[in-house]
Structure 1
Amino acid sequence: MIVRQLQEAQKTSRRIVSPDGNWESTRMLLKDDKMGYSFHITTIYAGADFRMHYQNHLESVYCISGEGEVETLDDGKVYKITPGTLYNLDQHDRHILRAFKELHLACVFNPPLNGKEVHNAEGAYELDAEAVTE
């Protein structure tokens, strides 16, 4: 059994802060945990507005708190994000995420992340990123 506390994980290399200052993510489960997915608690800072395109991963995102929106770029649809909202990037969707109020999100990635991933120039995570060390 794997048991981790968010407050403890935040004090380790499992907490990743984006170089651009838009978000931070504590990676609670990673590829090395051998669950077949990774699980993250992510904070998107208020005012963040950035493009992503997970070409190598599928992602499900559940909003715990905050307010924002996600816009899918291929069709221009905009979806409001509030507590209780789940959105799923099931088509490797190119999207823009905007945080009007700080967003606290629970995120699942398939395939699982290694741990040190940050967005590349296309807004994707690479498949061969460095793994975290506890």
Structure 2
Amino acid sequence: MIVRTLKECQQSPRRVVSENWESVRMLLRDDKMGFSFHITTIYAGTETHIHYKNHLESVYCMSGYGEIEVVGGKTYPIEPGTLYILDQNDEHYLRAYQDAPMEMACVFNPPITGQEVHDEHGVYALVD
């Protein structure tokens, strides 16, 4: 059994910070569960270009408001209780509105190693 708290993960290398977001990677590839699990904060007033060419992701909004715009497609509002599923490696823009950050619970398949950040195309590299 694996037991971790958000607080202990926040105070470890499992917390990865970028200009627009921070992600606490609570479950990683080395845990050998077949997926990874993260609590991610999208900073208020930011827009992030993301294109997970190598990963599928499900994201559940716990707090905050924003939107996800699929490149060449529709824009969907995000609010607490919204789940979006990037089942087609959807290239998108993720925006958090100005009033508060969005707190998200995220699941990745395949699992990430823990230190990934988006490259210039919004992609996480696939690690063998």
Confirm or deny a common fold (TM above 0.5).
yes
How far, CA to CA, are the matches of 1:24 and 1:9 in structure 2? Answer: 12
- Unaligned segments of structure 1, at least 5 residues: 130-134
**What is the TM-score of this pair, normalised by structure 1?**
0.92
**What residue ranges of structure 2 are gaps of 5+ in the alignment?**
none
> What is residue 80 of structure 2 aligned with on the other side?
83
1: CA distance, partners of 2:112 / 2:46: 22
**Distance in 1 (alpha carbons) for counterparts of 2:4 and 2:67:** 30
Q: Secondary structure at the match of 2:80?
A: coil
| Pairs within 5 Å for 1:96-115 | 96-100=93-97, 101-115=100-114
Deviation for aligned residue 1:4: 0.3
Query: SS where residue 22 of structure 2 aligns?
Result: strand
Alpha-carbon shift at residue 127 of structure 1 (Å):
1.4
- Select the residue among 4, 28, 33 that pairs with 1:30: 28
Aligned length in residues = 126
1:74 positional shift? 2.7
User: Once the 2 structures are TM-superposed, how far is the Cα of residue 17 of structure 1 from its aligned partner?
Assistant: 0.3
Give the structure-2-normalised TM-score.
0.96
